[in-house]
Structure 1
Amino acid sequence: MPEAKETVLEIDLGALAHNYRYLRSKIDKEVKFLSVVKAFAYGNDSVIIARKLEELGTDYFAVAYVEEGVHLRKNGITKPILVLHPQFTHFEEIIENCLEPNIYSEKILRSFIQTAERLKQKDYPVHIKFNTGLNRLGFDDHEVQLVRKLTAETSTIKIASVFSHLAASEDWKERDFTVGQIDLFRKMTWELIKDMDREPLLHICNTSGVINYPKAAFSMVRSGIGLYGFGNDKTVDPYLRPVSTLKTIISQIRKLDKGDTVGYNRSFKVEKPTRIATLPVGHADGINRIYGNGRAGVYINGSYAPIAGNVCMDIIMVDVTGIDCHEGDEVIVFGGPHHPVKFAEAGGTISYELITGIQRRVTRKVIPE
């Protein structure tokens, strides 16, 4: 594989396929699979990722916002797309682009029905979200009858799925709470659909739910972070492969003497003869200031080089004293031998924040399966 000549995010489609197949293996064949590609496919590239997942056989996609779904449609993605957090101002755009809204409140439900009626829709697919304890979005237990009434009174919409979101499915200490969520979801769903001619899809399992609560798969599961190589559990991570590797190069190396300082605010003070390498990546690319001052580091020719001083907007400096390296050499920021979870933890954050923060100005490079 040729070395990086600039800052690039490598997207390994073989790793994506591996993760998809691993997660699929945890559920029955008849259970459908929804792939979450919100936030630019967790910081990768939503079109590249979605195209591969369509090829692999995913049944559904999910995005957070309407513009994300429109972007996929404009780039040829044809599978159903659930919009997880729609606003009523975008309902016409949803219908124009054959997107499917999450209906999570009375106001949203009434508003979408009105829009569907005005646009003369019939049986337009919507997804009903129940709140079972995450307390973020969704109808509460006492609102189920309202949802039944409003959806039964119109032929403009049909319920494509009913779903909820587990709050702590990765944490075995919260097992009782999670089981309670699943039981409440089952109760609320039965109350809603018991007289329906056709049962909608039911889903509550996220990535950790698929792994830890496979009996709660119902008729569909959702996976986001797992597809990108993270299982929220150190015992599961070895079975998954991170999709993204962030690489850059050494722009310049300089020798400093005791008493010299490095970077803004002179936060790195040289105590002995030191070699410092400058890299073209910074907080405007997604490597935030939390990683500076030795908290995190990179790998150069197999050796660890801690970040020296504060992270700049477009640049970081690393201490390469004792490392055999030269200007132009490749640098692995995270990925490969430098697992993104370890990099994120060094900065006191989580893999989600790290990978979704990689900005679009960073060149994407596809590694085919």
Structure 2
Amino acid sequence: MILRKDMTRQIFIKPVVNPAHMTYDIKHISQLMKGDLVAFDAGATISYLLTDSRKLVFPAETLFFAITTKRRDGHEYIAALYEKGVRNFVVNTLPQDGSATNGNFIIVPDTIAALQQLALAHRHRFDIPVFGITGSNGKTIVKEWLNQLLEPDFVVVRSPASYNSQIGIPMSVWLMNNHSQLAIFEAGISTTGEMEKVQPIIDPVIGIFTNIGGAHSEGFFDIDQKLSEKLLLFKDAGTLIYRNDQLLVDKLINEKQKPSTRLFSWGLSQHSTFRILSLIRKNNSTDVVAVYENKESAFNIPFADDASVENVLHCFCAMLCMGIEPSVIISRIRGLAPVAMRLELKSGINNSSVINDSYSSDLSSLRIALDFLSQQKQHSKKTVIISDILESGLETVVLYKQVSDLLKQYNIDRLIGIGKVITSNAVAFDTLKAETVFFDSTDAFRKAFGSLQFGNETILIKGARVFQLEGIDSLLQQKVHQTVLEIDLNAVVHNLNEYRKLLAPGTKIMAMVKAFSYGSGSFEIANVLQFHKVNYLAVAYTDEGVALRKGGISLPIMVMNTDAAAFDTLVQYNLEPDLYGPEIFDQFTRYLLQIQAVDYPVHLEMETGMNRLGFSMEELPPMLEALKHYARPGVERKPLFRVRSIYSHLAASEDAAFDEFTHGQFTRFESMTVEVEAALGYPVLKHIT
């Protein structure tokens, strides 16, 4: 098959070959990056790239990029990764602690630039059609739908999830390999200068510009500058697909694109390449009549909202550019379904948790789903329900060996395979240290459901849409409440990162998750916060902390309402008490003496004006004497406890009328902390809220 000649850049579709992992030796990679190689094993080969230390799968074949940002320094994770078997690193400086003496290190001035340089070299090993997608909204939806529509004809590689950043784009391009026949990558930018860095890495043959809007506009002077920056992605594209009803978009594209680029516009204008004659919206769908190359087509889009209709029409035009007949496109569009923009975590039957990803089936999205599964600590047992993987381009023996290797790396306890192909390749999973069960069809699974005994586990449902695994999701869901509160965990992470932007570098974060995260789910929220490196959690009562520990939370947890009756439980689960006054301070000190504790972590609350709990200025002197005796390291004794933090509550900080009083609280708090640290002889964390 050959692409249409009017794409300008003529690319041949290669037949599927018997593929192997794309590998590079460490010396070659160093040369591509123009780095300095300090090698213990110069013959090491690399198949996988890693920028997030939490997502390690195949350590021996992984190259870790120690990326430094305002919030985090990747060099801090080298020692831990080395302990897990990683031996290859890209760094700014060599580690000085001697923790990775037998490692290979490529030293570069900028690790992000080095990652991009490697991806650039990798991209240009492939002469296949590459779609590049950008715009203010709709990039991920268009990418996922285009993948679904083109999968019957091509082996498609695409950006995982929303990997469209300066780091995500090179990580996406790295997924291209010998069996890839077509690629779809999305690009997002937040300021000027970013697109010119990633354009050569994607180097799209066909571009899709979704739309222009107000999203992510903070880094641009005006809408013209934002649009001009985004259009840089298509500077060498053979074809550019866009909607010409947006007049500014149409104007700038016609002004800025090279004459060699074929402009494939769609819209209501009579000048559109794909002209819309009518759009008639019904309750849940839209009837469209359009004309292309003097031929009229009538079809139905299974969505009625403007955004979805726009996204489908972008995909329609993209398929026309690929030479696919309108009748085939119309037939496939009928099967489109809403794209889940995030993995869904739900409460399941028998105290289980269910992750539903029954929308796509390929190796890259399987790895993302397994990453998410591994983050869930509420249950020790993990089950994966997976269907046949369609259109992978791999021989089935090779494909399911790779699936088995992935499951092995993620320590899966039970595998349930659904489909005739995965069932016939059950032998590929013989080395998996897990229970395995296979069914020829979803109906066969349903009939056996009662005997499978689900409970006290986290279950990932992963498969191709044609297997209708959403029915299995319904079977596994807990059916108790008619009213459901849905928490967007992506929004939680977004809010956390927005707060981090406001903090000085090095400032730690304690997240309050009392009252089961204020009704939003205790371990689910705590899991997300733990994965995204919050430093501390705080709860109101000991039993809340115990629930988090049982849910797999290992972060330090402060208990605010310490109760003497719960001292045993508190220590058993390594929870850290708030000693909020002389009485509870004395009670816990006597308890620690009784159990002969050493260095037990505690927190001290100061009373600065809230008049609720905490040590007052008058109560401070005897407490300071006790600290000198029990919490300060001595020559001949180990401290009974160690003070982790000192804190206080503001009474009226939200009211400007009380600013003078609030500043007075700050002054008193600072004075008290100076005295406490002097008594302890070491610095502690300080926080006031």
Task: State the TM bucket, normalised to the shorter chain.
Answer: 0.5 to 0.7
Question: 1:133, 1:165 → 2: CA distance?
Answer: 8
Secondary structure at 2:618 match in 1: helix
In the TM superposition, residue 203 of structure 1 has moved relative to its aligned partner by: 0.6
In the TM superposition, residue 196 of structure 1 has moved relative to its aligned partner by: 3.1
CA deviations on 1:157-200 (whole Å, 9 max, x unpaired) are: 11111100111121112111111111110011112212433211
1:1-369 mapped onto 2 (5 Å cutoff): 6-154=482-630, 155-204=639-688, 206=689
Output the amino acid matched with 1:91.
Answer: F
Question: 1:20, 1:172 → 2: CA distance?
Answer: 25
Question: 1:22, 1:168 → 2: CA distance?
Answer: 24
Question: 1:44, 1:64 → 2: CA distance?
Answer: 15
Question: 2:511, 2:612 → 1: CA distance?
Answer: 21
Question: 2:505, 2:530 → 1: CA distance?
Answer: 17
- Is the 2:578–2:602 Cα contact (8 Å) retained in structure 1? yes
CA deviations on 1:303-354 (whole Å, 9 max, x unpaired) are: xxxxxxxxxxxxxxxxxxxxxxxxxxxxxxxxxxxxxxxxxxxxxxxxxxxx
> Percent of aligned positions with the same letter in both sequences?
39
Question: 2:547, 2:684 → 1: CA distance?
Answer: 27
- Is the 2:602–2:644 Cα contact (8 Å) retained in structure 1? yes
Residue 282 (structure 2) aligns with: none
Output the amino acid matched with 1:66.
Answer: T
Q: Cα RMSD over matched residues?
A: 1.7
Question: 1:167, 1:26 → 2: CA distance?
Answer: 22
- Classify 1:82/1:137 alpha carbon distance in 2 versus 1 (closer, same or farther; 3 Å): same
Secondary structure at 2:524 match in 1: helix
Question: 2:551, 2:595 → 1: CA distance?
Answer: 25
Secondary structure at 1:11 match in 2: coil
CA deviations on 1:193-217 (whole Å, 9 max, x unpaired) are: 124332111111x3xxxxxxxxxxx
Question: 2:565, 2:682 → 1: CA distance?
Answer: 30
Residue 292 (structure 1) aligns with: none
Residue 273 (structure 2) aligns with: none
Output the amino acid matched with 1:139.
Answer: F
- Is the 2:627–2:680 Cα contact (8 Å) retained in structure 1? no
Which 4+ residue blocks in structure 1 deviate beyond 6 angstroms?
Answer: none
Question: 1:106, 1:9 → 2: CA distance?
Answer: 41
Residue 244 (structure 1) aligns with: none
Output the amino acid matched with 2:520.
Answer: N
- Classify 1:196/1:156 alpha carbon distance in 2 versus 1 (closer, same or farther; 3 Å): closer
In the TM superposition, residue 121 of structure 1 has moved relative to its aligned partner by: 0.7
Output the amino acid matched with 1:126.
Answer: V
Structure (1 or 2) with the larger CA radius of gyration: 2
- Is the 1:64–1:83 Cα contact (8 Å) retained in structure 2? yes
Q: TM-score, normalised on structure 1?
A: 0.54
- Unpaired stretches in structure 2, ≥5 consecutive residues: 1-337, 341-478, 631-638
- Is the 1:37–1:63 Cα contact (8 Å) retained in structure 2? yes
Question: 2:500, 2:611 → 1: CA distance?
Answer: 28
More helix, by proportion: 2
Q: TM-score, normalised on structure 2?
A: 0.29
Secondary structure at 1:125 match in 2: strand
- Unpaired stretches in structure 1, ≥5 consecutive residues: 207-369
Secondary structure at 2:681 match in 1: coil
Residue 424 (structure 2) aligns with: none
